[in-house]
């Protein structure tokens, strides 16, 4: 009888331990940067500014004291008016400047300068290059060139509150910026295994895994600084996955453990009798 009671106690202890492990494991899985402490310093991955890539759309504005010269290099937006016989073109009245789309070779067609190659350049480098060309060819004596990206963005999918394309107009855009722009991860999002895929100009795709619970691993990842058109995918955690099957999370519910405890108690009573 003593041996039987010992077995029952062991069974009950195992059940209680299982409940404790299940209840205590979750918090660390949903908390960012568990390794950070007050005053901790982490080294970031090499800083990567966004560079010009094919299909990028750029706004390029040349400013000069000579208004006539400015008009040569700042193409106005042309709108199409439909409603009369034929289609006529008219210039907009809001001083908008036409954008430039980078071709597959990294080139754009710029007024007077013709074809110029800007692929792989940073935004500031594009501005300096055009300004230098204008001065060296004696086209403009005092050019100030302002360059902005118009269509940069990344795609964030999976267990986030607002999945979709997150746009940005900064020289640097981090993985955390993208997640914040998507409304943060849902409670069911897998923080320890975020997937980032990147496609280079030659069509080669590389995948990276990031553990957001580990600050050092996250900040030293080659995809901590994102590039345009990166894809971020947050996979669902085990609880979310089990929701796709009938009664998938039943073993994790309190009612399940109460039922097991009740069954164990019944078996114990029968054994004792």
pLDDT at residue 173, rounded to an integer: 94
By CB neighbour count within 10 A (0-12 exposed, 13-18 middle, 19+ buried), where does 234 fall? buried
End-to-end CA distance of the chain: 10
Residue 257 has pLDDT above 90, yes or no: no
Q: Which tokens is 89 given?
A: 């073109």
Question: For the segment 40-92, what is each residue's pLDDT rounded down to a tens digit?
Answer: 777 777 778 899 999 999 999 999 888 888 888 887 765 444 444 444 434 44
Report the mean per-residue pLDDT for the chain.
80
The two most distant CA atoms of the chain are separated, in Å, by 106
Residue 273 has pLDDT above 90, yes or no: no
Helix (H) / strand (E) containing 79: strand 78-82
Contacts of 238 (CB under 8 A, 6+ apart): none
pLDDT at residue 84, rounded to an integer: 47
Taking each helix axis from N to C end, the angle separating 254-272 and 2-29, rounded to the nearest 10 degrees, works out to: 170
Residue 170 has pLDDT above 80, yes or no: yes
Question: For the segment 210-243, what is each residue's pLDDT rounded down to a tens digit?
Answer: 999 998 899 999 999 999 999 999 999 877 677 6
Local structure of residue 252 (DSSP, 8 states) = G
For residue 159, what pLDDT band results from cuts at 50, 70 and 90?
A: very high
**Any alpha helices (H) in 81-174, and if so which ranges?**
123-136
Which residue has tokens 């709108």? 79
Mean pLDDT, range 142-146, rounded to an integer:
92
**Any alpha helices (H) in the chain, and if so which ranges?**
2-29, 67-73, 123-136, 175-181, 215-219, 238-242, 254-272
Contacts of 121 (CB under 8 A, 6+ apart): 51, 52, 129
Task: Give strand pairing partners of 233.
Answer: 157, 195
Asked whether 230 and 154 are in contact (CB, 8 A), the reply is yes
Percent of the chain surpassing pLDDT 70: 70
**Phi, psi values for residue 268, rounded to 5°:** -60, -45
pLDDT at residue 4, rounded to an integer: 52
- Burial profile 155-177: b = 16 or more Cβ within 10 angstroms, e = fewer: bbebbbeebeebebeebebbbeb
Q: For 165-198, give the DSSP string.
A: EEE--SS--BHHHHHHHTT-B-TTEEEEEEEEEE
């Amino acid at each position: 009888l003593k041996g039987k009671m010992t077995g029952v106690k062991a069974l009950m202890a195992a059940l209680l331990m299982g409940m404790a492990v299940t209840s205590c494991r979750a918090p660390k899985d949903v908390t960012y940067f568990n390794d950070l402490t007050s005053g901790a310093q982490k080294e970031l991955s090499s800083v990567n500014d966004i560079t010009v890539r094919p299909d990028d759309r750029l706004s390029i504005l040349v400013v000069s004291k000579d208004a006539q010269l400015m008009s040569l290099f700042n193409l106005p937006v042309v709108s199409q008016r439909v409603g009369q016989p034929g289609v006529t073109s008219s210039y907009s009245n809001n001083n908008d400047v036409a954008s430039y789309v980078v071709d597959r070779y990294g080139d754009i067609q710029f007024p007077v300068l013709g074809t110029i190659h800007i692929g792989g350049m940073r935004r500031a480098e594009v501005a300096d290059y055009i300004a230098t060309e204008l001065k060296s060819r004696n086209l403009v004596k005092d050019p100030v060139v302002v360059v902005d990206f118009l269509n940069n963005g990344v795609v964030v999918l999976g267990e986030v509150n607002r999945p979709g394309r997150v746009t940005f107009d900064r020289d640097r855009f981090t993985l955390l910026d993208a997640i914040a722009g998507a409304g943060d991860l849902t409670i069911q999002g897998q923080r320890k295994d975020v997937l980032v895929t990147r496609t280079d100009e030659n069509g080669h795709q590389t995948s990276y895994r990031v553990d957001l619970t580990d600050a050092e691993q996250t900040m030293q990842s080659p995809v901590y600084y994102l590039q345009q058109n990166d894809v971020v995918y947050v996979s669902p955690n085990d609880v979310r996955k089990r929701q796709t099957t009938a009664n998938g999370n039943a073993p994790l519910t309190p009612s399940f453990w109460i039922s097991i405890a009740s069954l164990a108690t019944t078996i114990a009573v029968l054994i004792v009798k």
